[in-house]
Amino acid sequence: ICDKYAHIYNYEGGGVSFNSGVSCRLVDGDRGTMTAEQVAAAINPPDFYHSPLTTLVSIENTANKGGGTCWNFSELQAIKKVCANNGLKYHLDGARLWNAMVEMKETPLQYGELFDTISVCLSKGLGCPVGSLLLGAKEQMDKAIRIRKIFGGGMRQSGFLAAAAIYALDNHIERLAEDHKKAKEIGAALAAKSFIKKVEPIETNIVIFEIDESFMTSDQFVHKLIEKNILIIGMGQGKLRMVTHLDYTNDMHEELLKQLASF
């Protein structure tokens, strides 16, 4: 069970089915988040011949396609209860978990206590060149390491990457608040423009917006930005996305705001 915007469903080439032989039951949530009631309603009846057996709930925090949405922690706790009552595992896709924790003033311990497994990306907001980690109890991790080997993902030379990760964990977490501030400033600059139809609420470092196509198409807007040496790509369905991060500097930010103001 996951939200219809979930990265694992939309952006991994169907790997969830190809690699793991499972199907996703999608929930029609709100900006990438779902309620405990919606999760409970998505559990298949205990019918061993027809419906797929429900085994896992996966949530994404922050929710990328939802616009960097932060979950309400009490909803995550309510979903945990639904999982416990129905014998389901509970996974957190925490590619951007630190953005959520900085914004909502939450702690890693809170999340560790709630979930069976957590995946995190070191290469997104934290700025490492590469790297994702899976966290969980020892027996599950022993199993995961074996599956990683089977998938060809074993790596003997990971110390260099671990060093980058340790540096990022020590130095790049608090500064995520700066990325969030910049994202809100970009959102305000866009919202001030008559040719912008909609800017999704900005909670963390992701800005998703739409062009009023009676002024210009989103492709035309992307090309106008390219002329100013600002490169962005669309997300489809007329949606455009900008993400602030470690390598997006103050100078770049000032330049972008200046260029947007001049449109």
Ligand X SMILES: *Cc1c(COP(=O)(O)O)cnc(C)c1O
| Candidate residues 33, 58, 64, 117; the one interacting with ligand X per rule CB under 6 A | 64
Segment holding 162, helix H or strand E: helix 159-171
CB of 82 vs ligand X, minimal distance in Å? 22
- Indicate the pairing of strand 2-3 with strand 56-60: unpaired
Which 3 state secondary structure label does DSSP give 215? coil
| Candidate residues 5, 43, 58, 60; the one interacting with ligand X per rule CB under 6 A | 60
Name which of 88 and 121 has its Cβ closer to ligand X. 121
Beta strands in 95-220 (DSSP E): 117-121, 132-136, 196-199, 206-211
b/e burial code for range 9-43 (CB count within 10 A of at least 16 → b): beeeeeebeeeeeeebbbbebebbbbbbebbbebb
Name which of 43 and 121 has its Cβ closer to ligand X. 121
| Candidate residues 2, 5, 7, 242; the one interacting with ligand X per rule CB under 6 A | 7
Size of the site for ligand X (CB under 6 A): 7
Q: Tokens 């909609």 identify what position? A: 198
Name which of 39 and 95 has its Cβ closer to ligand X. 95
CB of 61 vs ligand X, minimal distance in Å? 9
* Residue 91 binds to ligand X (criterion: CB under 6 A): no
The mark string for 93-132 relative to ligand X (x by CB under 6 A, - otherwise) is x-x-------------------------x----------x
Alpha carbons 111 and 127: distance in angstroms, whole number = 22
